[in-house]
Amino acid sequence: MTRILGFETSCDETAVAIVRDGVEIESNVIAAQTDLHARFGGVVPEQASRAHVRAILPCFEEALSQAHADWDGIDAIAVTHGPGLAGALLVGVNFAKGLAYARNKPLLGINHLEGHVYANWLESGPSVDEPTFPLVALIVSGGHSDLVLSDGHGSYRRLGRTRDDAAGEAFDKVARLLGLGFPGGPEIERLAGSGDPRRFRFPRAWLEPDAWDFSFSGLKTAVRQQVVDLGVDADQATPEERREKLPLADLAASFQDAVVDVLATKVARAAQTFGATRLALGGGVAANRALLQRVEDMAQVPVLCPPPRLCTDNAAMIAAAGFFRYRSGERADLTLDIEPGLPIA
């Protein structure tokens, strides 16, 4: 039995977790900063760093106590060292390094995006015992839209990425256009549930015929133009005016359909093209059940998707990825540094 202590502070969640054998969550503590950033409509980096400093020690103590764990039971410490906000990553990395040194425990630096992939095996139960390869993964969050091929643990090839906005960023920006709160994804999904996805024909950016990349800025501009055509000043209108005047459900449904259409089509095609045995989703946008439904409809192979609370940022996924790296003998040392622009491959 191997127990990994995981830390995640790459963006606006301070998270600490303890995971057994890469799959079983013993504790998963998350201090979200949503309220802190909501009034700015996005994450404010300096505020995020300070909030991590305030939250990390209480979160760590809570994670130990929930798991009824002490130091003897911890085999290694895994921490996100990139990609993410530099000041935010520094808090987690330095805290983890301090603990590893003080308690003489092995240390592992984890790529946040790899964590989103490994969230798929948490609490998987008997139906999915170990990751199988090749695996095609779609990681869609507020900061990333990556299409990835993995041939084995820790081995990745990036097939495609966004050329402009990330998928979650598009949800957040469109939510703002519609006068909704931040983060926008959950609210758009809720409204879309009662809307007509065919009322507005928004563009799908398929790009070149063989392209695996994504692009969402044209879609965002099209929604903005539609808002103007519906008689709302896209720059000046208050959130209340927007919500009153606009057919929110139909706009949300039509927008979501355009995003889901492109994401699902490309990931299903990639799985087939590269002979994947499994298809995995991850990242905050994977919490969207319409996306999961469409991917399941289109894919020829089993589709994995974490429950919504494990799609968004957490430290259990970092501990899970850490387990497989620990098992393969990997170790970081105290020179481990943050890598804000770290790609998955």
- Which residues of the shown chain bind ligand KG4 in the complex (CB under 6 A)? 11, 141-143, 168, 171-172, 183-186, 189, 283-285, 287-288, 312-313
> Which CB atom, from 189 or from 250, has the smaller least distance to ligand KG4?
189
Residue at 270: amino acid letter = A
- Tokens 């990835």: give the residue: 148
Helix (H, G, I), strand (E, B) or coil at 158: strand
> Which CB atom, from 76 or from 87, has the smaller least distance to ligand KG4?
87
We find the least distance from the C-beta atom of residue 113 to ligand KG4, in angstroms, to be 9
Q: Which of residues 139-178 bind Zn ion (CB under 5 A)?
A: 141
Residue at 29: amino acid letter = V
DSSP run (H or E) holding 249? helix 248-273
CB 47, CB 36: distance < 8 Å: yes
Residue at 46: amino acid letter = E
Contacts (Cβ under 8 Å, ≥6 apart) of 265: 298
We find the least distance from the C-beta atom of residue 330 to ligand KG4, in angstroms, to be 23
Q: How many residues bind Zn ion (CB under 5 A)?
A: 2
Query: Under the criterion CB under 5 A, does residue 33 sit at the interface with Zn ion?
Result: no
Contact stretch for Zn ion (CB under 5 A) within 100-108, 235-243, 310-318, 337-345: 310-318
Helix (H, G, I), strand (E, B) or coil at 70: coil
Contacts (Cβ under 8 Å, ≥6 apart) of 208: none
> Which CB atom, from 165 or from 313, has the smaller least distance to Zn ion?
313
> Which CB atom, from 204 or from 327, has the smaller least distance to ligand KG4?
204
Mask of contacts with Zn ion, 180-209, x by CB under 5 A?
Answer: ------------------------------
How far out from the chain centre does Cα 2 lie? 25
Q: Give CA–CA dist 199/190, Å, rounded.
A: 17
Question: Which residue in the shown chain puts its C-beta closest to Zn ion?
Answer: 141
Which of Zn ion, ligand KG4, none binds 184 (CB below 5-8 Å, type-dependent)? Answer: ligand KG4
We find the least distance from the C-beta atom of residue 238 to ligand KG4, in angstroms, to be 21
Which of Zn ion, ligand KG4, none binds 49 (CB below 5-8 Å, type-dependent)? Answer: none
We find the least distance from the C-beta atom of residue 49 to ligand KG4, in angstroms, to be 16
- In terms of DSSP H, where are the helices of the chain? 34-38, 45-66, 86-103, 112-118, 167-177, 185-192, 217-229, 239-245, 248-273, 289-298, 308-311, 316-327
Residues that bind Zn ion (CB under 5 A): 141, 313
